[in-house]
Amino acid sequence: MSVRINPSILSADFVNLQADLERIATADLVHVDVMDNHFVPNLTFGTQMVGRIQDVSPIPLDVHLMISDADRWAPGYAELGAYSVTFHAEAATDPVALARRLRSIGARAGIAVKPGTSIEPYLELLPEFDQVLVMTVEPGFGGQSFMPETMPKLRALAAEVARTGLDVWLQVDGGISADTIGIAAEAGANTFVAGSAVYGGSDPAANIALLRAAAEASTHGH
Ligand code: DX5
Ligand code: ZN
């Protein structure tokens, strides 16, 4: 079974972003963390910057919106051509209407939940989404420790995906490394975001290959 490795450019060098995008060309998608200093305490960039990343990236964009009022702002990221747009359940007034809007523009629609947010209310809405992101750290910063207590949510999602036969990707984000990726893969994740584990050290392509091999080894049998 194939897995997807999505490096997070939150750990890249923002002044040499084009070069750092080229260094992850063997990955599946580039994970772009949009933060508004409101939904999360940190601040990154908005549509203008993401549009330029879209222009120069060798691989498609997986946009993770950690912003308030997602209903208002998320469609703009789909309109600039992002392959995937994921908003937080906690930040959307009408997640189903927003997902439909994103899909109508041509993006894959994703919904994310923070570690403290239950997945139960969203299980019956799975047909409306292409991806569910289970945050494995509190959103806002790279380099935090993986929270294994989030794994029951992945197991519940994986069971629902298996039951329904839907093609919904299950993504994890936060503290994913060669040591933890197997835990998430075993619980049912198939799409893995990694920032420090990819850009740490001198060889992102080797780190991507290592993460991919570790995830595939633990996915065996799913
Ligand atoms: C955190 C971001 C992550 C972050 C992950 O809020 O959503 O995408 O870049 O960083 P690592 O992999 O270093 O935990
Ligand atoms: Zn992220």
List pLDDT tens digits, range 116-131: 999 999 999 999 999 9
Atom of ligand 1 nearest to the CA of 146: 14
Q: By percentage, how much of the chain surpasses pLDDT 70?
A: 98
Residue 39 to residue 67: CA distance in whole angstroms: 5
Contact 205, 18 (CB under 8 A): no
Checking if the pLDDT of 51 tops 80, the result is yes
Q: For the segment 139-167, what is each residue's pLDDT rounded down to a tens digit?
A: 999 999 999 999 999 999 999 999 999 99
Checking if the pLDDT of 222 tops 60, the result is no
Checking if the pLDDT of 57 tops 80, the result is yes
Task: Give the distance (Å) from ligand 2 centre to CA of residue 22.
Answer: 19
Q: By percentage, how much of the chain surpasses pLDDT 90?
A: 97
pLDDT of residue 108: 98
Task: Give the distance (Å) from ligand 2 centre to CA of residue 16.
Answer: 20
Q: For the segment 21-37, what is each residue's pLDDT rounded down to a tens digit?
A: 999 999 999 999 999 99
Write down the pTM of the prediction: 0.98
Contact 111, 132 (CB under 8 A): yes
Checking if the pLDDT of 220 tops 70, the result is no
Q: Is 193 in the pocket of ligand 1 (CB under 6 A)?
A: yes
Task: Give the distance (Å) from ligand 1 centre to CA of residue 5.
Answer: 13
pLDDT of residue 1: 58
Contacts of 72 (CB under 8 A, 6+ apart): none
**Candidates 90, 144, 147: which one to mutate for ligand 1, based on the most atoms within 8 Å of Cβ?**
144
Q: How confident is the model at residue 88 (pLDDT cuts 50, 70, 90)?
A: very high
Report the mean per-residue pLDDT for the chain: 97
Residue 56 to residue 135: CA distance in whole angstroms: 28
pLDDT of residue 169: 98
8-state DSSP, 161: H
From residue 197, alpha-carbon distances to 45, 62, 82, 94, 211 in Å are: 22, 18, 24, 34, 8
Q: How confident is the model at residue 133 (pLDDT cuts 50, 70, 90)?
A: very high
Residue 135 to residue 167: CA distance in whole angstroms: 20
Q: How confident is the model at residue 46 (pLDDT cuts 50, 70, 90)?
A: very high
Closest residue by Cα to residue 182 from 215, 149, 158, 208:
215
Q: How confident is the model at residue 221 (pLDDT cuts 50, 70, 90)?
A: low
